[in-house]
Structures are given as C-alpha cells and as structure tokens.
Amino acid sequence: MLRISSPFISRLSTRQLLFSSRSLTHFHRLYTSQSQPQHQLTKCCAKEKKEDETRKSPLTLAFWSSKTGWKRAAVNTLRCLAGCTLGDFSALWVLQSLYGHWGMGAIMGISMASGITTSILLETVLLRHGADKLPWGMAFRTATGMSLVSMLAMETVQNLVDFHLTGGVVLLDDPRFWAAALVSMGAGFLAPMPYNYWRLVSFLPSLMTHPRAVLSWLEADWAWKHTLHWERWTLAMGARTVVLAYQREGPLLHLGQLQANSNTRHDAGYACSSNRSQKTASQCGNGKKSNLSLKKRLEAIGALPEEVAICAVVLTVASSVGAVSVNPLPAPRNITWGSSGPKRIAGHLNLRTRGSNSQVISQGWDRAWRSIVSLQWVPAATEAPISSFQPFPTAIPSASAKSKRAPSWLQFVDVKVDDLKADLQHGVDESYTLDVKEGSNSVQITAKTVWGALHAFTTLQQIIISDGKGGLIIEQPVSIQDAPLYPYRGIMIDTGRNFLSVNKILEQLDAMSLSKMNVLHWHLDDTQSWPVQIDAHPEMVKDAYSMRETYSHADIRRIIAYARARGVRVIPEVDMPSHSASGWKQADPKMVTCVDSWWSNDVWQYHTAVQPNPGQLDIIYPKTYDIVRDVYNELSGVFTDDWFHVGADEIQPNCFNFSSYVQTWFAEDPSRTYNDLSQYWVDHAVPIFRNVSSKRRLIMWEDIVLSPEHAHEVPKDIVMQSWNNGVEYISNLTARGYDVIVSSADFFYLDCGVGGYVTNDPRYNVMSNPDPNTPNFNYGGNGGSWCAPYKTWQRIYDYDFTLNLTDAQAKHILGATAPLWSEQVDDVTVSSKMWPRAAALAELVWSGNRDANGKKRTTLMTQRILNFREYLVANGVQAGNLVPKYCLQHPHACDLYYNQTAVV
C-alpha cells in the first residue's frame, strides 16, 4: 500500500502559527474600517459570545486547561529546542577548544546566536522537505518570523542553567557535564512553554480542533505578500482568511446562522439557528429552528462588505455541513449524485493501488492530494436556483442516520488499472470511473490505463472541498463514468515570435492537466527567432533573441517529463518551408530566400511575407534537405511523441522571386506552377520526415491541400490542421479522407481581437468616421487584427465543428487545438490570454457542449468556468478574469437574456 500523507498541526511550530497573525490583523482592520449595517445579537448568541470570551481570557483556569494546547505547544517547543541545543552546544565546544581566550561572556553570546541560527535553518529545512512542502522563501520567512520572546527565553534560561552548573565548560568525558546538559535542556524547554501555549491558544483557539486550517492561514499570509492588493488573490483564499479571522478576532459572522428579514435584504442579522432540514444543527433559546431557505440566507449577505460577503456565501453553507455545489470542469460525461449528504475526509486519504503500482499514479495522486489539502477549495458561488435545473443535493443525514453507517470517514483512494504499460500516445484509453458509495470508507477508481487514473484524480480534486472549518468533505454517494469525446485535446504555444520561459510552459501544463487537455502543440520557431539549441548545427541558435532565451535539450526533456507525468503529450512543430528564416540562414544562407526583402513592399500585391520578417526555405536548393534532415532527426531524438508537426502553411510565391534556383527551375519548364513547387517540397521532404520511425505520423496545416499554392497530391495519412473558413474547410478535408485537428481561427484563435502590432501604420491616423454606414478599419472594423473579434469563452464553447458532416466525415475529426500566437504574448501575458478560455475548449472536446437532450448547455457552463478560473488561480495559474466579481457572486445575474431557453 502506498501511503500519501497530508500536513497536520503537530508538525507546525509556534513560529509558523504566529508568523501569519499580521495578515489577519490587516484584514480585520480592512473589514472594520468599512461602513457596515448594525447587526443585533440574539440573547442566545450573546451568551455564546460571552462564553467564548471567557474561554479566551488567560486569567481563567479554563484558558490554561487545554490538553491539546499543551501537547502542541510542547511539540513546537521541542522542535525549536533541537535546533537551539545543536547550534548552542556545538558552538560552545568549538569556541572553547579553539578560542578559549575570548572569555566566557563572548563565547556564551556567540553560542546563543548560533543556537538561534541553527534553529531557524533546521526549521526552514523541515518546512521545505517535511509534510508542509513550503517553498524555500516562504519556509525561511516563516522560520525567521518566530517569536523572539520564545527563542530568547529558551536560549537565556538554557545557558544560565548550564553556566550555573558547569561554568560554561564543555567536558565531554565528564558524566556531570551530560547530567547538567540534560537539566539545562529541560529548563530551556520549560521556560517558553507557557508563553507558546498562551500565543497558540489566544490566537488560534479553533485550531485546537481544526488543524488543517493552519496551512490555510500560512497560505493566506503568503498570498498577501505576493499580490499587489488583497482582492487580487483568489476568492477561495479570501474565504479561508475569513474563517481564520473569525477564529482569531471573534464572530465577524456567526457562521451558518445568518438570516434575513422577510421585508428587506439589508436587514441582515445574526441568529443561532440553521435550516430546518438540517437536523444536526445546534438549537438555542426556545428550541425553534429557522425555516429560511439557503437563498434567503445568501441574499442577506448582500448587505455586508464585499470581501466578507464572498466568504459568507461559502461559510453559511459549509459551516453547517451543508452541501456546496461542486461543478467540475470539464463536466464528466456521466455523473450521478445521491442525497445522503457530505462525508468527511480523514486526515490522510491514503492511496491503495491494488496491484496497479505505477510511479505515474503515485506521483499523480501525491500532487492531487497536496493540492486538495493546501487549497482547502470551496467554489466561489453556488449555482443559482433556476427551476429548470436539477437542484444540487442538500439533504443532511441526521445524527441517528449517521450512526447507522460505518465508517463515517473516507480514508482511502483505491485505484485499479488494467494496463499499466500503455504508452502516452494518440488514442490511448483515458476513460475512468469514480465511485463513492454510501457508507464506504474509500473512493473507488478504475481505469483502463494510468492516464485515465490521472483524470480521475483531477476530478476528485474539484469535488473534495473544504467544510469551512479546516476539514474536507465530499458529497456522497457519487458515481462517475467518464471518457473524452475526442482523443486530441490541445493548446498551441508559439516560442518563435516571443520567448516563453520553461517555468511558464510548465504553468500551461498544470492548467492543461486540471482541465484534462492532453496535447501541447509547441510551435518552436518562426522567421523572427530560432530558440532551440541544435548540436548538429550549433550556429543556428545565434538567431535566438539572446542566449538566455534558448531551450537546451535538457530544458526540452524536462518539459516533456513534466507533461508526461500529467498525461500531456508534447508535439513539436518546425514550420517548413514557409515561416523559415532565423536559424536556417545561419546554417547555410543559400537555403533561405527573400530574407533581405521588404516584407510588405508597400504594395501588397508584391509582398513576400504576411508579417515581418520574411523568409522561406529554398525548395530547389539541394543542400536544403541535408540540413532539414539533420535538424529534424535531432529533434525527433529529443521529443518522444510519435507525432511531429512540419508546418506547410502560408507559402508566399513572391518570396521565390528572390531565389535563382527556383527561377531556373521554372525556366526549365514554362508549364510549371507554384502548385508543382509545393509538390516538389512534399515529394522530397516527406520521405525525410517519415524515415525516423515506422510509428511516425505527420501533421501539416491545411494550406498544403487547400491554399491556392497547394500541392497536387498529399498523402492521406498526414493529419491536416484546419484553421481557415470554419466548417467549410473541415467538411472539405474530411470529405477528401483526411483526419483533421480543428483550430478554426474564427472560433479558437486566442490572440485575435486585440489590434495590430505592425508599426508606422497610417491606418490608425483617422480622427472621425469616414463612413458611418459602413464598418471600416477603426470604426466597426478589425482595428488591425486580421482575425478579429476577440474570441470569448462562449464563442469557443458554442462551436459545433461537426455541423452538417456525415457520420463518415465526423469520424475523421481527431479533436481540436486552441492556438495562441505570440506576436503580442510573452511570459507576462501568456497565461491570462490562454486561460480560462482554453478551458472552454477543454470541455467542448471532452464531454461536448450539449446535454443528453441535445440542448446547448452554455448556461450550465457559465458558473462552472467562472469558478474554474478561480481554481486555476488558486493552483498558481495566472488565468485572466472573465467578468466583474459581481457576476461571479451572483450566478446568472449577468446573463443577457432572463429567458434561459435563449441559448439553444
């Protein structure tokens, strides 16, 4: 059995807990500084508040009687003692041996500093490599943010006792020295204990019973320091901050007990009751329970400040252990929820592979579980109660019902995989089932391959959520049968126009994994730059923007390994023979043509490129194919996928006017055309591309078949990537028998609609509309973006790319890719332009955009993708915002049509 551990409180020191108090104080000030409605506490709640304040007072015996508090304070103090003692006594012994003449005062002072330093370093290492897995920077800041009062007390008492008993002399062969050392360590341990206990219980009373909230607290503090403004962090992080602010500062909200006045939503008040259907809810006063609906309670929150209202939506539901609507993206093909209420997750959700041992599975689950525990995820808002939708289950089992079911906690994830050796290649089975049966203590996952199991983990990540109290819950029973509609589900990045760092590429892979996309199409180069190091022709990388902006073989292998661990294939593209200048010209200047021409020629009919800078491979020059073979073979040895993209788009005939070899070739036979020239390329290049492996499959852009300069005969086993004219070109290609990857620019191009980038463009110099009745460049036109308008997630999601195809044609659709060309994209903007819009494509090709009745489910997708954007950000993906926060908090309030049947 493989055991996957989660962080827990006993491994966190006092210094970690105290380090984050500043962020909560900041939040409390933010909250109290805003104008708020006046809330009235009921007598019952006032009594609870008074009792809570009594428990918090250090002047009472109850404050000092928490066994859990003393135990955790002892564990935290012991960790500190280990580092202090090691550094202190080691320094004492070394200094006395080598520098005894310094004097005992100096030696003891240096020893104390050594003890504190060693404790900080040890704590940093434990926080980094222990169960907490904090980043180095955060681990160090957390360790150094400890209370100096506690550490100085320990060091001072320890050294005073040692000096009193031994005079500060280290005598390793004297038993009395070791006895004195034990006494001094004991004194050093006891000295800060009351202080540590007081800090722990004063600031974190609720954490005595909800240990996982500590990690959330630390994350909230880290988020605070790494964003320009608190509101820029995720809603989920904010929700957790309010949970902790409640525990730290008192009842900002009486969680789960907020009710609304029947006459106005702005008369929100506190109450000590919860929904009548929630039989386990606490009662007070005369024993009556509120029958207010969840909707009423959520409406009441609207009167509160924005940050608190967001969190209260979550906490009003979660704190009463009610169901929170989970809406995983992409939507599973088949998901059935029961109504038995949520089941709690044990502190450790252990992986049991049942004979399906695999590093991919164990590492995949480790990532998923760490994300679940660290994020304590809660959807930002529940789905609005639209009557035509099936309501999410909200029934809560009674205490007696719970007692009849055993066990009441989930403890295991059982995974059964049929084929552990199936390679990550096109067509591999990615299906899975996921079941949580009523009364079971495990999540049951079955999959044909490990790649399907990974998808099950990403689904599980989204349906395990925080209960708002530091715990985790999952609705049960739940049964999911899931598989993708299409085997090819991808995005495209372009590192030829602008360089993308390795870390940013890895960020895209994280987002792809979460959204179940499985192909990263990597457009490696273009005319503007060649960023890939080639051993056979090292001079090619001279055309990188800088030596820092290059990819070594090790970089590429790292990206491929990272992708594979997440079930993502990496397919390279070297665009040939067009879009080829940089790099190639360094290998042999004769193999490229028109590189020194003016790209637009100021007269468009004579242009040599569709954008600066020009350049194409010289198709007739004999040595072209030798260098192409060298580069292609080397890259084929680095990239492990069976598929390889070789470009073949946008061949510009005017460019060949600059090639003496091409002009001579045309002169030899006046009947030759540019179609013949394209065929020459296919006939000479394709054998090189196929010679690498019998499993090799090539991808080309549709131009080689459908453009005016198309080749006469292109082998049918070459996959066509369609990007022009939508369903028309898709139908044309599939009718010819080609397999197709859909990338229609009218729907999927993510770089469109943001204006042009070419400079010295006089078309913008227009001060008034020259023709109000006709769209033109600056008024109703594309504004310089050839593929305008901007592609919203709804445009992407609503695309029916199989429209009017026969069944035979539809079988040729392999899937789809959303390209993001990088003329105006780099590390700063790539994630915000790619995500979460690419997630709309992810669902489109995973489970489609229609329900079982064939109706578009765009309405249902809305809250799903808005929540998913927050989930991406919480997972470290800098996804762009789609809507004002109001729309996120108020599901469907931003719909264009109140009539939900408007989307058909």
Q: How many helices (H) and strands (E) does the chain have?
A: 31, 20
Neighbours of 98 (CB within 10 A): 9
- The token duo for 697 is 């499959």
Active site residue 650: yes
- With CA atoms as reference, report the closest residue to 5 among 204, 207, 212, 178: 212
Q: Of the candidates 680, 662, 655, which has an alpha carbon nearest to the alpha carbon of residue 527?
A: 655
- Residue 765's contacts (CB-CB under 8 Å, 6 or more residues apart) are none
Structure tokens at 347: 């502190």
Of the residues 249, 549, 650, 823, which is catalytic?
A: 650
Cβ neighbors of 402 (< 8 A, separation 6 or more) are 280, 408
Return the structure tokens found at 484.
């993708």
- 605 contact partners, CB below 8 Å, separation of at least 6: none
883 vs 422, 441, 790, 799, CA distance in Å?
A: 41, 40, 15, 21
Contact call for residues 802 and 810 (beta carbons, < 8 A) = yes
Residue among 483, 510, 511, 488 at smallest CA distance from 331: 483
β-partners of residue 169 are: none
C-alpha pair distances (Å), 547 with each of 380, 523, 532, 533, 574: 43, 19, 10, 10, 20
d(C-alpha 163, C-alpha 109), whole Å: 12
The span from the CA of 88 to the CA of 68, in Å, is 30
Q: Which of 655, 680, 651 is nearest to 665 (CA)?
A: 680
Comparing C-alpha atoms, which of 497, 471, 483 is closest to residue 433?
483
Q: 506: which residues sit within 8 A by CB, 6+ positions away? A: 559, 562
Whether the bond between 836 and the residue before it is cis, its omega within 30 degrees of 0, is yes
Residue 498 burial by Cβ neighbours in a 10 Å radius (0-12, 13-18, 19+) = buried
Q: How far apart are the first and last CA of the chain?
A: 49
Distance CA 708, CA 512 (A): 36
Closest to 716 in 3D by CA, of 760, 759, 682, 668: 682
Task: List all residues 6 or more positions away from 480 whose beta carbon is below 8 Å from its beta carbon.
Answer: 332, 334, 335, 336, 432, 433, 434, 435, 456, 459
CA 156 to chain centre: 46
DSSP one-letter code for 150: H
Residues designated catalytic: 650
